[in-house]
Chain A
Amino acid sequence: MIDHVALLPLYAAGGTALLALIAELAVGKRAAVFGSVLLGALATAVCAIVVGGHHAATFCSAAGVCSWAPSPPAVVATVLFAGLTAGVLALSVPALRLGVAPPGEFCFLLASSMAGGVVVGYAGDLITLIVGLETLTLPLYVLVGLRRFAPRERVSTAGASASVTFFLISVISTAIALLGAALNYAATGALHLSRLVGGFGPAAPVAGVGVALLVVGFAFKVAAVPLHAWAPPTYDGAPVPVAAYLSTASKLGGVLALAAVVSRLEAGPVTAVLAVLTMTVGNLVALRQTRMVRLLAWSSVAQAGYILAALALGAAGIRAAIAYAVFFVVLEFIAFGVVVALRPAGADGGEIVGYRGAGRRSPWPGAALVLALAGLAGLPPGLAGLFAKVTVVDALIDRGWGWLAGVVALNAVIALAYYVRAAAVLYSSAPRVGIAVADPDLLDAATHPRLPVTAPVAAALIAAAAVAVALGFVPQLLFTSLT
């Protein structure tokens, strides 16, 4: 007996993908396709909220274990996936209007990815979880490389090579995760998350290897060091909105998958090692970046380290890890959104020095980027980020992991060095040109015209900034909805 009400969010998300495809074929207008995805994302979020996190599980076996398990974090994740899908679509609108990618296919793939995210949130067993994760990732291989060039435009293979890198690494990581699940199943006979136990007797080493492989496989998805090398080139080669999706929704999926495993199986040491490596290496390498998207990519690697630190606590750290992931995803989305807003339609992220004075020319996007970077650094005015840091450090100290809290704290100091550099560039004055100029500011304004922000991008940024501010002042909203 299958409870279809519990499945409503998935139906809505899957239906969105189909609707986008049909709208493209039947109407053929961009607006109709965009509208159908927006509507579908909204319906997905509403379904998740209406069904709620305390709805009975379904797809249950005779033994009473279930493969589809609604939970409060699943609802929060679904709402986030839906919001991010709508937001990334809005960020892509200027590029899609230029025709750099076919809108129908783009929207279909994006919505399919959202459906995968929903499955990850609700998954009740390892197979569903991995299938969901693959459904989340698979469309992204295409989206990363989906780029049409105008007849006289210089053809770049950056997108294609990013796509291949991402594809190869991702497939290998899935294979590793599947092998881990298989070993664990062989040792303990458990596939359902609620039945996962550590191995015992002669099978214990096999089960232990299985857990380690599962963690490693999922750690690829969150780009944890030393399994991170794919992320910066992929983000930098992908269109900026797709990079935004990779570093938010895709990462959230990885975090949810990791949380499902580490909350039930003992994986503290390996996760703690990954956490320390991830935040330290991510932050140190980010210090040397000169391209905006690479900087954000490395910072997003480092941020995954803070989440892993909370996950190292096992079940006790899940709430902190998911809360951190939510705060982070919103702030990261704003950062990428501002990059889209400040650059010409369809352009890549560009060099950081290219943003010189952008905050003076475009005060609102500049302010939004400062909010996002301050939040990622964990400082006011990005109160959401501050509470994110407090949540993780609080969980670590509460469980007696003071040393790891200290590592997190020191990393926050290193991270500020590059966040503050990126933010300061926005407000620095025009560079000196080699020749004598009567009014350098006028010359700068002429060579760096202020780009108008298109309405969908502005709407996405305003919505995301509003969510970030609301979460900053009333973080309890998030904590309440997670329990």
Chain B
Amino acid sequence: MNYSDYLVQSITWRQVLLIAVLAVPAVGAGVVALFPSRAERLARIVATGFAGVTFLLALLLPVGGTLPRGWFSYGTLSIAGSGMLAIPWIDYRVSWVPALHVDFHLGVDGVSYPLVVLTALLTLLCCAYTIWKVPEGGSGRTLVALLLVLEVGILGTFLALDLVLFFLFFEVVLLPMYAVIAGWGGDRRRAAARKFVLYTLFGSVVLLLGVLTVVAAAGTGDLLALHGGAGLSRTTQCVAFALFAVAFAVKAPLWPLHSWLPDAHTQAPTVGSVILAGVLLKMGTYGLIRIGVGVAPQGAAWASPALGVLAAAAILAGSLICLRQTELKRLIAYSSVGHMGFVLLGIATLTVTGLQAALLGNVAHGLITGLLFFLAGAVKDRTHTGELAELSGLREAAPRLAGLLGFAAIASLGLPGLAGFWGEAFAVVGAVQRGGPLWVTLAVLAAIGGALTAAYFLRLLRRVTQGPATPVVRLASPAIAGAEWLAWAPLIVLVLAVGLAPGLVLVATSTPMLALTGAP
């Protein structure tokens, strides 16, 4: 081992771009954290600048490749024994810790790209929102620095093509998210933050066991080399998949491992909730697709009925719990359990349709729930309460806000033409395609859960928009600030855009998905 091993011979500008997507927010976090406390507001503006640059860089990722098909540069490679392999658009690898088989290996392809852009977008919106309003509890400068660190961790998780590196980035988000909840959250923030961090660390250590099981068996952590379970026996794959499934089920979260989520969401500040629901949960579902199904396909096939049953249970349980919720943010949090159930059902089918539905559901949930939490935060800021019973008559007092809440709720319940529809509908279609009595039953149950989703969102809307205005609602200011429009508008537009043209998200996923499912 000598220093030349650390040196990279030549890297292309696209690889520089890939690294910059991670480096810019990391540098930004450092710069902002070093700002003096006098320059509070300037620090937040600078952080937003860094988040903006990251977003632009993320948008540029597909540009400039060789263009074999359409405007995306992906292709497949047939490898004897492991079927097709999807080649990432950009790929950067350098040896990091040879003693532990760790490479610093990043890459982006059609599966990760939509989530990368979503992460960069939501972080940008949250930073911009924080310029306008800092939640009580600490300095805004520290909050935006933590948001940028979170962004590094989440982007790194989506970009990592090495198992140990994936685990490392997976861990990066734990403490910053804890700090965001514990520092800027509601009244019972300490307990909620502690529950979040311990629960998710439990998921992480199980992930570590799974990752090292695979690395020990295969002698490498390279996701491209491990694709299709290359070099892993069936037993190893089953053990590894079981560990991965538990780890990602905590993060996603999958019923019955979801109980950290409602508390964390209820107590977190608005921007924390947006990041948490919008992209942090996606690390779990993305990991299940990329690592669970990608590295241990035989294990996935073995466990898919159990996963499907749990997913259907999550959909039903999430919807039924939501019907009884009386607090706005808690209701949205529990609705996430149901929505992530659809995503997991899609993954569990192991069909191309199901997996694509899962990806679409991921992105749609990120957009819609991000928007819902922004709106819930706006309602709570104005009325200082989240109790549904005290929010009736919002339509009269603040018609625009109520209208937007209605839009987001309808999008979330899966109205065709809005983003939420495709993921949920095609998860059900995927389950039917899988065939057999079990999967058809699960599809029916999921569809019933979808109907219940409509029921509780309509209940929410009836509570919030109908009825006489309560005193707190009457005192609420109806005006929506420019910063709020700025933060919400991109989400509203994208909810419509993805709803009308889901191909935007799926355009480059069919090849990686075919490779994952091993279909011809």
**A residues whose Cβ falls under 8 Å from a Cβ of B:** 374, 379-381, 383, 386-387, 389-391, 393-394, 397-398, 402, 405-406, 409-410, 412-413, 416-417, 420-421, 424, 427, 475-476, 479-480
Contact of B171 among A380, A394, A413, A427 (CB under 8 A): A380
Chain B residues positioned under 8 Å from A417 (CB to CB): 194, 198
Chain A residues positioned under 8 Å from B172 (CB to CB): 380
A-B contact pairs, 25 of them (CB 8 A): A379-B171, A379-B174, A379-B175, A379-B201, A380-B172, A383-B168, A387-B97, A389-B208, A390-B164, A390-B212, A394-B216, A405-B209, A405-B212, A409-B208, A410-B205, A412-B205, A413-B198, A413-B205, A424-B190, A475-B100, A476-B1, A476-B97, A476-B98, A479-B97, A479-B100
B206 an interface residue at 8 Å Cβ cutoff? yes
Beyond A405-B212, A406-B209, A413-B205, whether A394 also contacts B100 by CB under 8 A is yes
**Residues 374-397 (chain B) with a chain A CB within 8 angstroms:** none
Q: A390 to B100, Cβ gap below 8 A?
A: yes
The 9 closest A-B pairs by CB, nearest first: A479-B99, A409-B205, A398-B216, A380-B172, A397-B212, A397-B216, A413-B202, A476-B97, A394-B212
Q: A408: nearest residue on chain B (CB-CB)?
A: B205
Q: A473: nearest residue on chain B (CB-CB)?
A: B96
B342 an interface residue at 8 Å Cβ cutoff? no
Q: B97 to A394, Cβ gap below 8 A?
A: no
B271 an interface residue at 8 Å Cβ cutoff? no
Q: A420 to B194, Cβ gap below 8 A?
A: yes
Chain A residues positioned under 8 Å from B213 (CB to CB): 397, 402
Chain A residues positioned under 8 Å from B96 (CB to CB): 476
Cα of A427 to Cα of B198 in the assembled complex, Å: 19
Extra contacts besides A402-B213, A405-B209, A416-B197 (4): CB < 8 Å: A380-B171, A390-B164, A394-B212, A479-B98
Q: B209 to A409, Cβ gap below 8 A?
A: yes
Q: Shortest distance in angstroms between A72's beta carbon and chain B's nearest beta carbon? A: 13
**B residues whose Cβ falls under 8 Å from a Cβ of A:** 1, 96-100, 138, 153, 164, 167-168, 171-172, 174-175, 178-179, 182-183, 190, 194, 197-198, 201-202, 205-206, 208-209, 212-213, 215-216
Cα of A304 to Cα of B405 in the assembled complex, Å: 54
Q: B168 to A374, Cβ gap below 8 A?
A: no
Q: B99 to A476, Cβ gap below 8 A?
A: yes
Q: Shortest distance in angstroms between B206's beta carbon and chain A's nearest beta carbon? A: 7
Chain B residues positioned under 8 Å from A381 (CB to CB): 175
Cα of A391 to Cα of B212 in the assembled complex, Å: 10
Cα of A405 to Cα of B198 in the assembled complex, Å: 18
Q: B209 to A386, Cβ gap below 8 A?
A: no
Chain A residues positioned under 8 Å from B98 (CB to CB): 476, 479
Q: A393 to B208, Cβ gap below 8 A?
A: yes
Chain A residues positioned under 8 Å from B97 (CB to CB): 387, 475-476, 479
Cα of A287 to Cα of B209 in the assembled complex, Å: 24
Q: Shortest distance in angstroms between B176's beta carbon and chain A's nearest beta carbon? A: 9
Contact of A416 among B153, B183, B201, B212 (CB under 8 A): B201
Beyond A394-B216, A424-B182, whether A374 also contacts B100 by CB under 8 A is no
Q: B212 to A387, Cβ gap below 8 A?
A: no
Q: B178 to A420, Cβ gap below 8 A?
A: yes
Q: Shortest distance in angstroms between A413's beta carbon and chain B's nearest beta carbon? A: 5
Cα of A406 to Cα of B243 in the assembled complex, Å: 11
Cα of A465 to Cα of B100 in the assembled complex, Å: 23
Cα of A406 to Cα of B247 in the assembled complex, Å: 13
Cα of A222 to Cα of B175 in the assembled complex, Å: 30
Q: Shortest distance in angstroms between A357's beta carbon and chain B's nearest beta carbon? A: 12
Q: Shortest distance in angstroms between A458's beta carbon and chain B's nearest beta carbon? A: 18
Q: Shortest distance in angstroms between B505's beta carbon and chain A's nearest beta carbon? A: 30
Chain B residues positioned under 8 Å from A410 (CB to CB): 202, 205
Cα of A394 to Cα of B163 in the assembled complex, Å: 13
Contact of B215 among A389, A394, A416, A420 (CB under 8 A): A394
Chain B residues positioned under 8 Å from A393 (CB to CB): 208-209, 212
Cα of A427 to Cα of B194 in the assembled complex, Å: 15
Q: B210: nearest residue on chain A (CB-CB)?
A: A397
Q: A402 to B209, Cβ gap below 8 A?
A: yes
Cα of A405 to Cα of B190 in the assembled complex, Å: 30
Cα of A393 to Cα of B98 in the assembled complex, Å: 16
| Residue among B168, B197, B205, B215 with the highest chain A CB neighbour number at 10 A | B205
Beyond A386-B171, A412-B201, A417-B198, whether A391 also contacts B209 by CB under 8 A is no
Cα of A380 to Cα of B171 in the assembled complex, Å: 7
Chain A residues positioned under 8 Å from B215 (CB to CB): 394
Chain B residues positioned under 8 Å from A389 (CB to CB): 208
Q: B170: nearest residue on chain A (CB-CB)?
A: A380
Cα of A468 to Cα of B175 in the assembled complex, Å: 18
Q: Shortest distance in angstroms between A51's beta carbon and chain B's nearest beta carbon? A: 21
Chain B residues positioned under 8 Å from A412 (CB to CB): 201, 205
Cα of A380 to Cα of B176 in the assembled complex, Å: 9
Cα of A380 to Cα of B209 in the assembled complex, Å: 18
Chain B residues positioned under 8 Å from A421 (CB to CB): 194
Chain A residues positioned under 8 Å from B202 (CB to CB): 410, 413
Q: A374 to B175, Cβ gap below 8 A?
A: yes
Cα of A416 to Cα of B183 in the assembled complex, Å: 18
Chain A residues positioned under 8 Å from B100 (CB to CB): 387, 390-391, 394, 475, 479
Chain B residues positioned under 8 Å from A374 (CB to CB): 175
Cα of A14 to Cα of B386 in the assembled complex, Å: 70
Cα of A383 to Cα of B156 in the assembled complex, Å: 15
Chain B residues positioned under 8 Å from A427 (CB to CB): 138, 179, 183
Chain A residues positioned under 8 Å from B182 (CB to CB): 424
Cα of A123 to Cα of B38 in the assembled complex, Å: 57
Chain B residues positioned under 8 Å from A475 (CB to CB): 97, 99-100
Q: B173: nearest residue on chain A (CB-CB)?
A: A380
Q: B198 to A416, Cβ gap below 8 A?
A: yes
Q: B172: nearest residue on chain A (CB-CB)?
A: A380
Chain A residues positioned under 8 Å from B201 (CB to CB): 379, 412-413, 416
Contact of A397 among B1, B138, B209 (CB under 8 A): B209
Contact of B208 among A380, A390, A479 (CB under 8 A): A390
Chain B residues positioned under 8 Å from A397 (CB to CB): 209, 212-213, 216
Cα of A393 to Cα of B208 in the assembled complex, Å: 8
Q: A476: nearest residue on chain B (CB-CB)?
A: B97
Q: A386 to B168, Cβ gap below 8 A?
A: yes
Cα of A156 to Cα of B217 in the assembled complex, Å: 57
Chain A residues positioned under 8 Å from B168 (CB to CB): 380, 383, 386
Cα of A427 to Cα of B215 in the assembled complex, Å: 38
Chain B residues positioned under 8 Å from A387 (CB to CB): 97, 100
Q: A409 to B178, Cβ gap below 8 A?
A: no
Cα of A479 to Cα of B190 in the assembled complex, Å: 39
Q: Shortest distance in angstroms between A391's beta carbon and chain B's nearest beta carbon? A: 6
Cα of A402 to Cα of B239 in the assembled complex, Å: 11
